[in-house]
Amino acid sequence: MDRLELRQDQEKAIRGDVVPRLLEDRDSRAALIRGIRLHYHLAMSEPVKRLSSSMPQVARARNARRIMSNDIPERITAEEQPYFGRACAAAGYHALYHELDLLPEVSIAEEARESETDGGKLIYDEIMSFKYRYAIMDDCKRTIKLMDY
């Protein structure tokens, strides 16, 4: 695949038209994630569903898009819950965040504060009202540490 084809694939992914053919390429992965976050139909497509089981960054983008589209899955794994909480904070979905019954997590508080929404303020205030807060998500490593909690 030449550079022009690669670039066209990336542009199509951002528009929500296709999953790029060369996912080993960092820019192609970034284009796919951007496309998923922007386009519900891409997030719900069969290829993206399959990829989300093996690529955590695709799963996170897909979950964020679903929450932004008010499409909440019936079953959420323990590993996915913090990401759903964070997406709720970014969108200001206080009621949905509250339903998740999560530990007060500092990354979620930061996301809620930065969202500048009424719901985000409620989430932020709720998390900050706890005597103890947890650092479950590591943004630098893109990991979640559940073992100790």
Which two three-digit tokens encode residue 74?
């019936």
Sign (positive or negative) of CA dihedral 104, 106, 108, 112: positive
pLDDT of residue 74: 77
Q: Are 113 and 120 in contact (CB under 8 A)?
A: yes
Distance CA 18, CA 7 (A): 13
Percent of the chain topping pLDDT 70: 98
Q: How confident is the model at residue 148 (pLDDT cuts 50, 70, 90)?
A: low
Mean pLDDT of the chain, nearest integer: 90
Please state the pTM of the whole predicted model: 0.69
Domain boundaries, the chain: 1-71, 74-149
149 pLDDT band, cuts 50/70/90, is low
**Mean pLDDT computed over 127-147:** 84
Quick: pLDDT tens for 73-98. 777 777 778 888 988 998 899 998 99
- Is a pLDDT exceeding 60 seen at residue 109? yes
For helices 118-128 and 81-91, angle between their N-to-C axes, nearest 10 degrees: 130
